[in-house]
Each structure stands twice: as C-alpha cells, then as structure tokens.
Amino acid sequence: MREDWRRGRVRRGLAALRLAARGGARYATNAPRLFATAGEQRQRLRNDLALRTAEDVAATLGTMKGVLMKIGQMASYVDDGLAPPVRRTLGRLQDSVPPMSSELAAGVVTEELGAPPEEVFATWDPEPIAAASIGQVHRAITMDGQAVAVKVQYPGIAQMIAADLGNVGLMRSLLRVAAPSQDVNALIEELRQRIGEELDYLREADSQRMFAAYFDGHPTITVPKIVDELSTARVITSELATGARFAELADWPQEEKDLAAETMYRFTFRSLYEMHAFNGDPHPGNYLFQPGGRVTFLDFGLVKLFTPEELKPLVHMVRYLCVDNDPEAFRRAMEEADFLTPGAPLPTEQVVEHMALFYDTVRTPGPRTMTPGYASAVARRYFDFRNPLAPYARIPRSYVILQRINLGMFALLGDLSATGDWRAIAEEIWPFVQAPPSTPMGAAEVAWRSRRPEPVPVS
C-alpha cells in the first residue's frame, strides 16, 4: 500500500520534470494569460471571493441568476440582441461570478473521479486558470506526464438551472422586457436547448472527440483531444492548448486576423457540410490563436448533428440562390425545408430580397470585408418577427441552432474586420461545387483532405 503511494509520488515528480523539460518555464509565466486576458473575467478569478460551499454556488447562480447569465452570454455575441441597459446588466452579472475555492473544486473532482485531484493527477494546480460558463478550468499533469486542462462543473448547478428554466412564465416576462422586438418563444427554446446540453459534459466530450478525430492532421485547425479515463458527467479533461485570446487579436496585423478568420470559416462550413455537425458555441473565449491562422477550438458544449435529410434543403437553398440563380427553385427549397408556408401570398422576389442578406457574403465572388454592422443586421433580421415574411416564415426546430453562424461566427469575423473571398472558399467546401483550393490555406488542406473519408453526399 505504502509502496504504491511512494511509486505514485515518484511518478508525479517525473511527470512534472518532463513538463519542465518541454519548456515548462515559459509555460508557467504565460499560463495565467492562456485563457483570460487582463480585464476580462476579472471577478471570476478572484480567489478572495471564491465560492466555498454548494450553498455559495446556489446563492450566486441559483434563483434565475445562472439563467440570466446565460441570456447575457448569448446576447454578448451581437450588438443589439438585447436592449442596451439589459445587456449591460447581464454583462455585469456574468462578471460577478467568482470561482470555486480550491476545496470546492477538488470536492467535485473527488466525487467524479473517485479520489482527490492530487491523487488522480501527477500535478494539480488548485488555482483555476479560466472561468467556463458553468464551471472553471484547472491545469494539471496526468500520471502519464501529459499537460491537460480540467474543466470542473459548479456543484448543483444542473438542478438549479433546470428548476429555473421550468418557470416559463417568468422567463417570458423577462425576455419580453429584455428583448421586446424578438420572438420570445424562439429565445426560450434556444436557451433551454443551449443550457441543457451545456450541462451535460458526457455529451460534450463525445462531440469534442468527434471533431478532434475529423480535424486530426489539419494544417490550421486544432481540437484538443479528450482524455477519456479522466472525463465524466461533471469533469472534462483534455489536452492543454496554448494561444492568444480573441481580444488579443485586436493588436495583431490584419493579415493574421484574416488568416484566423479563414480558419474559423473553414472550420464552420467543413464541419457543417462534411461532418454534418455544427458547433454552436461561438463564444469568443472558445478560441485560442497562434500566428499563421492556426486556431484551437475549445468547448463543444453545444454541437448539433444534422441528418442528410435535414441538410439537403439547406444545401439546395444556397445552391439555387447563389450558384444556379434560380429564385423559384430557391423558394421551393425553403418551402420543402418548412421555412416558408407553401403558397404564401408573397412575390418570390420579396422572399429572395428578405433572405438574401443571410447569403450576402457568398452570393458574388471577390474579396469581401466582414463588418460588425453586417453581423448585427443579420442577427436583427433573424429575430425580427415584424417583417413581411414573418406570418409565413418559421425556423424549424432542427435549424434554430444555425443562427449562431450569424450570431456567433459572423459577429467575431466582423469584429476582426476580416477580409476574404468567402465565395471562393465556400465553393471549395460546397458539396455541389468542390472547387480546387482558392487560397494558400486551401492548398495546405489538400494533404489532410486526402486522408479523410468521402463526406456523405447530401444532394
């Protein structure tokens, strides 16, 4: 028994040494900035205010506060998703959540992994390095010497949030005040889905495994691998990634921003058209950047898988509108997907005019610069139920998540003022075009692509 324990200690020591040999010193100084930049999430890493008990967690995130925080997070992707004072309030709320104390976080790890973190890991850093939306991230080194990020969920949060989301009447009242021009039912549905899935770490780990496997070997896309034996319903352990935060990109040269944007764009649409999967969490904190357009994608808490039948009308829509230039066929595809009531008394050009905004970046070839204004306009139109199409239009449940292409990725690309020939890149990816590489990054993808299985055709 005692001998085992000593061996464990020696192994831990060796693992720590190995990490140091791999540039641990540089890592140590940079580590606190890996996920959180100065000024960002300040409160959430204030250890002097750390939550020490499950009751502290309930007082901070229970009684609707966790739910309101999520609304704030959703709203923070766009300029005008919510009324400005509400947005400010919710933004502050997000910043007001302190981390768990080391003891509380260790308690969750103990319950989930069967032993205290100091025994499960060779090295465990009791200070969190980042706040996740319903948990926090700790650095650790596994017994095998691998540097990992361990995401630990706040205790009791799943039950609290489920109870609060159950009060639909109050949710409605809140959202009517917060977002008077928006479809409250769609927002509630969105929130429920979003939060429910985010609480389920098992599902999240599965999704991350799938993305990691698909993009394995990609020249610019990195998805940290999950450490299976150290991941449970409330703890996810994955490879530790390094890189700059989204906010830090502001100081990078525009070419670098454009490359980062291209990677994000390729990631989104390759996932959608080839994996039939969409990672719906566009929070800026979920990306880490390195020069040359290399991007690490974190947090797969909200991934939607599409069936080929679900994807087919979407593929048809983009094809008929942007490639075949056939408005009537476009309209039929919309009807087929249940986006539009068949036979609605609207001229087809009005339908096209309304919908064209969503396809603005890919309708014509040539370089285009994304702007924050474009992202906001798309988001506004998406939720605007007073437009002429509204009586006949709906967003079928399975497509609701796709709005985050607009609310999320386009908002981030807009922030970067990213320029690219999005049409040309889209043609590389569109299954009905499959154009040759249009950029150096596209060319660099060729080797990776040749090792991928043929995507399942959708049309």
Partner 1 sequence: MTAEVYPAAGLVERAAAAFAASVPEHPADDGYFGAASVTWRLNGDLSAPLAGLRSLLVQALHPLAMAGVDQHSDWRADPAGRLASTSAYLVTITYGDRAGADRAAARVRKIHERVRGTDPLTGKPYEAGDPDLLLWVHAGLVDSVLACADLFGTPVGAAGKDQYVAEMTAAAELVGVPAGRAPASAAELDGYLEAVRPELALSPAAAESTSYLLALPALADELGDIWRVLGDAAVASLPGWAKDLYGIRDAREVDRTEVRQVLGVLDALYLGEPGVLEARQRIELRMRAQARG
* CB-CB neighbours of 375 under 10 Å: 23
Question: Would you say 369 and 422 are in contact if contact means Cβ atoms under 8 Å apart?
Answer: no
Question: Of the candidates 62, 128, 145, 285, which one interacts with partner 1 according to CB under 8 A?
Answer: 62
Sign of CA dihedral 62, 68, 70, 76: negative
DSSP string, 127-168: S-SEEETTEEEEEEE-TTS-EEEEEEEPTTHHHHHHHHHT-H
Contacts of 6 (CB under 8 A, 6+ apart): none
Question: Of the candidates 93, 132, 152, 317, which one interacts with partner 1 according to CB under 8 A?
Answer: 93
Compute the least distance from the CB of residue 42 to partner 1, in Å: 11
Q: Is 164 in the site for partner 1 (CB under 8 A)?
A: yes
The two beta strands, 294-297 and 303-305, are unpaired
Compute the least distance from the CB of residue 172 to partner 1, in Å: 8
Find the part of the chain contacting partner 1 (CB under 8 A) among 93-101, 113-121, 252-260, 375-383: 93-101
Which CB sits closer to partner 1, 53 or 369?
53
Question: Of the candidates 37, 41, 43, 53, which one interacts with partner 1 according to CB under 8 A?
Answer: 43
Which CB sits closer to partner 1, 101 or 237?
101
Q: How far apart are CA 128 and CA 45, in angstroms?
A: 7
- How many residues touch partner 1 (CB under 8 A)? 26
Compute the least distance from the CB of residue 63 to partner 1, in Å: 3
Q: Is 170 in the site for partner 1 (CB under 8 A)?
A: yes
Compute the least distance from the CB of residue 245 to partner 1, in Å: 23
Which CB sits closer to partner 1, 51 or 407?
51
Q: How far apart are CA 243 and CA 92, in angstroms?
A: 26
Nearest to 97, CA basis, from 151, 136, 124, 71: 136
Q: Is 379 in the site for partner 1 (CB under 8 A)?
A: no
Backbone angles phi, psi at 47, to 5 degrees: -75, -25
Find the part of the chain contacting partner 1 (CB under 8 A) among 172-180, 275-283, 284-292, 294-302: 172-180
Q: Is 380 left (phi over 0), alpha (psi -120 to 50) or beta?
A: alpha
* CB-CB neighbours of 4 under 10 Å: 8
SS3 226: strand
Question: Of the candidates 177, 202, 443, 447, which one interacts with partner 1 according to CB under 8 A?
Answer: 177
Question: Of the candidates 64, 221, 223, 333, which one interacts with partner 1 according to CB under 8 A?
Answer: 64
Find the part of the chain contacting partner 1 (CB under 8 A) among 113-121, 164-172, 206-214, 230-238: 164-172
Helix/strand/coil (H/E/C) assignment for every residue in 395-424: CCHHHHHHHHHHHHHHHHHHHCCCEECHHH
Compute the least distance from the CB of residue 49 to partner 1, in Å: 6
Q: Is 398 in the site for partner 1 (CB under 8 A)?
A: no
Find the part of the chain contacting partner 1 (CB under 8 A) among 14-22, 41-49, 279-287, 377-385: 41-49
The two beta strands, 147-153 and 287-290, are unpaired
Q: Is 159 in the site for partner 1 (CB under 8 A)?
A: no
Q: Is 218 in the site for partner 1 (CB under 8 A)?
A: no
Q: How far apart are CA 201 and CA 205, in angstroms?
A: 6
Helix/strand/coil (H/E/C) assignment for every residue in 24-55: HHHHHHHHHHCCCCCCCCCHHHCHHHCECCHH
Q: How far apart are CA 267 and CA 193, in angstroms?
A: 23
Question: Of the candidates 96, 254, 364, 459, which one interacts with partner 1 according to CB under 8 A?
Answer: 96
Which CB sits closer to partner 1, 96 or 459?
96
Question: Of the candidates 63, 307, 364, 459, which one interacts with partner 1 according to CB under 8 A?
Answer: 63
Q: Is 92 in the site for partner 1 (CB under 8 A)?
A: yes
Which CB sits closer to partner 1, 171 or 236?
171
List of residues contacting partner 1 (CB under 8 A):
43, 48-49, 59, 62-65, 68, 88-93, 95-96, 163-164, 167, 169-170, 173-174, 176-177
